[in-house]
Amino acid sequence: MKIVLAQLNPTVGDVRNNLAKLITTIENVPVNSADLLVTPELYLCGYPPKDLLSFPWFIDQLSDAVEELKQFSKTRPDIGILVGTVRNNGRTSGKGLCNSAVLVSEGEIRFARDKQLLPTYDVFDEDRYFDEGDSCEIFEFHNTKLGISICEDAWNDPEFENSLKYDFNPIELLARRGAEVFINLSASPYHLGKESNRYHRFVFHAQKWSKPFIFVGQVGANDDLIFDGLSMAFDAEGRLIKSLPLFKEKSIIINTDLPSENGSLPTISKIDSLRMALVLGIKDYMKKTGFNAAVLGLSGGIDSALVACLAVDALGKENVRCITMPSIYSSSGSVEDSLILAKNLGIRCDRIPIKGIFDCYNDALKESFDGFDDDVTEENLQARIRGTLLMAYSNKFGSILLTTGNKSEMAVGYCTLYGDMNGGLAVISDLPKLMVYELARWYNRNKELIPESILLKASSAELRPDQEDQDTLPPYEQLDDILELYLEEFKSGTEMVNAGHDPQLVQWVTRAVDINEYKRNQAPLGLRVTSKAFGSGRRMPIAGKWKDDR
C-alpha cells in the first residue's frame, strides 16, 4: 500500500487554516501516486485543544471542516484521507465526544476509529473531554486491511511496558482481527529520549505481529508542549522504511509492499535535539500568539546568554533586543560580557543603570524600614526594578519578554516574583543548570559566541556584595541530581540518601521545592523538554502540608 505520511504543524483552534493546509498537502500529492494520506492525531483542531472542546460552536466548526473535506475528496478519488479530528459519538451519557481517526474518500466517511486508551496523567487530560472508543475493528481499504490506532493505543503491550495503565491492548486486538498494516495517528509530546522510546516501541510491534507499522506524529509547539514529528514507517520485520525529520513539517510517500532500504533512525545528539526543540518552541509560541519580536535582560550570566542565543536562532537577530541593567553590585565584567555577547550575536543591547531608581525606592521606604537591616527585601527590589523596566520595553515595542530562569533555580525558589520571573515565555525553565552549561558550550563549538568568561565565572545574582549562587544553593552537580531523583523519578528521601546524598541536603532541597509551589504557580509558561516539567504536567497543592515519612 502506498501511504502519504503527512507530518503537519497545526495551530490549536485554527480549524479553517489547519484544513486549508491539509488540502494543500493533498493537492501536492501527484495523482494516482498514493492510496492513503494520514495526518497526526486531532489534526483539524490541533493538540491539545483543552477546554475549546467544551464549546458547541467549536465542535460544529470541526464537523463543518469534515464536511468540506468530504466535498474536496470528490476531486481526488484516487486517494483516501485518514484525518485526526473530534467526533460526536451520539451517546446520551458521558462526554459525547471521541478522539477519532476518520477515513474520508470520494465524498463519504468510509470509517471512523475512536481512541480507546485515553491518557490522564502528566500533561495528558483526555478523560476530561472524551469517551473511550467502544470498538477495535479493522477496515479494508484499497484491498488492504488497516489496523488503525491513535497514539496511546500503541502504548500498552505487556511485553514492552514496565507497568500497564490499561487492561487491554488495542494493537493485539487489531492484529488478531486480521490487520495487514498498522497505522498510528499521534500527537506525542517531545522530551529528551522520547524519540528512541518510540522507535523501539514500533519496531517491537512490527516484529511481534510481522506487519508493517506506520506512525504519523504531530510536529510543532503548542503552548508548553513541543512535538518533534519524526514520523516513521517500518516493514513487517521491523526494519525502518523511512523516517521524516525532527522538528520540521514534511510529507513523503512510502510503499509497504516494497522491500525496506534497511534504514536506521537518524542519529542526533541529545544536545542537538534539545536545541532544536527549544528553538521550535520559541518560534511557534511567537508565531501562534502573534508576536514578531522578543526582549530579554542580559545579566552577564550563563542563563540569559543562552536564552539570547536561542532567541536569535528562533527569530533572527533583527527581532531580538536586550537590556543590561547594572546596579551598584554589578561587576564591570558582567556588563562588558553582556555587551560583547550582544555584539557577537548582532543584536541591540541597551544599557539602563538602576542605581537611581533603587535609591528612590530606598528613600520611599526609609521611614517604614527604619531600624531594620538590609536583607532579601532590598535584593528583590533590584530584581523587581529590572522586571518593571523589561515589561516597559515589552509594552512599548510590542515584544514578548523572555524570562531566563533555569529549572534548578525555579525548583528551589531561587527567583523573584514580579522580578526576574516577569515575562511571557520561560524558555529554559525546564533545563537543569548543568544542562544550561552543556547547551551554552554547544554554541561555542566553532567560535567564542558566548564570552568564555561567562562560562567560567561563578554564577551570581549580583544583588549584594560578592554574592554567589553557591552561598545559598548547594553545588549544582548535587542539586541537579537530587532534583532529578525527586521530580522525575519520584524517589523518597531514604532512596535519595541511599543513592549517596547527604540527608540534610536532601531535606533542604525537597522542602525548598515543596514550599515554592506558590512561586511557580505564578511563573510564565515554560517550554517542556524533560519527562517531568513544572507546569501542566505537575499539579501540586499550594496551601497544604505534607511530609515524606519513608
333-350 pLDDT, tens per residue? 788 999 999 999 999 999
Q: Which fold has domain 2-268?
A: Nitrilase/N-carbamoyl-D-aminoacid amidohydrolase (3.60.110)
413-469 pLDDT, tens per residue? 999 999 999 999 999 999 999 999 999 999 999 999 999 999 988 766 566 666 566
Given a contact cutoff of 8 angstroms between Cβ atoms, the answer to whether 2 and 255 are in contact is: yes
Q: Where is average pLDDT lowest: 14-18, 152-156, 271-275, 332-336? A: 332-336
Domain with CATH 3.40.50.620 in the chain: 274-473
Grid cell locating 395: 509594552
pLDDT of 103 over the 80 cut: yes
Q: Tell me, what amino acid is at 366?
A: K
Whether a cis peptide bond, with omega within 30° of 0, leads into 503 is no
What are the beta bridge partners of residue 351? 324
CA 429, chain centre distance (Å): 11
What's residue 460's pLDDT?
Answer: 62
Q: Where is average pLDDT lowest: 272-276, 416-420, 533-537? A: 533-537
How many other CB atoms sit within 10 Å of the CB of residue 308? 30
Three-class secondary structure of residue 228 per DSSP: strand
What's residue 325's pLDDT?
Answer: 94
Q: What share of the chain is helix, strand, coil (3-state, %, to 5)?
A: 40, 20, 45
Confidence of residue 393 (pLDDT cuts 50, 70, 90): very high
Candidates 152, 149, 156; CA nearest to 183 is 149
Sign of CA dihedral 115, 117, 123, 128: positive
Q: Are strands 97-105 and 108-114 parallel, antiparallel or unpaired?
A: antiparallel
Give the CA distances from residue 17 to residues 3, 5, 10, 14, in Å, rounded to whole numbers and listed in that order. Answer: 23, 19, 8, 6
Q: Which fold has domain 274-473?
A: Rossmann fold (3.40.50)
Candidates 335, 327, 301, 424; CA nearest to 381 is 327
What's residue 549's pLDDT?
Answer: 66
226-246 pLDDT, tens per residue? 999 999 999 999 999 999 999
Mean local confidence (pLDDT), 297-308: 96
Three-class secondary structure of residue 349 per DSSP: strand
Residue reference for cell 485543544: 49
Residue reference for cell 488495542: 170
Three-class secondary structure of residue 211 per DSSP: coil
Q: Tell me, what amino acid is at 92?
A: T
Q: Where is average pLDDT lowest: 22-26, 263-267, 393-397, 536-540? A: 263-267
Residue 279 burial (CB < 10 Å; 0-12/13-18/19+)? buried
Contacts of 318 (CB under 8 A, 6+ apart): none
What's residue 354's pLDDT?
Answer: 94
Q: What percent of the chain has pLDDT over 70?
A: 97
Mean local confidence (pLDDT), 17-27: 98
Please list the active-site residues. 41, 115, 151
Q: Find the distance separating the first CA and the last CA of the chain, reported in whole Å.
A: 55
Mean local confidence (pLDDT), 526-539: 92
Task: Calculate the average pLDDT of the chain.
Answer: 94
Q: Tell me, what amino acid is at 37?
A: L
Q: What percent of the chain has pLDDT over 90?
A: 87
What's residue 423's pLDDT?
Answer: 96
What's residue 540's pLDDT?
Answer: 87
Pairwise CA distance, residues 270 & 134, whole Å? 40
pLDDT of 310 over the 70 cut: yes
Confidence of residue 223 (pLDDT cuts 50, 70, 90): very high
Domain with CATH 3.60.110.10 in the chain: 2-268
Three-class secondary structure of residue 97 per DSSP: strand
Confidence of residue 214 (pLDDT cuts 50, 70, 90): very high
Pairwise CA distance, residues 203 & 276, whole Å? 25
What are the beta bridge partners of residue 400? 294
pTM for the full predicted model: 0.94
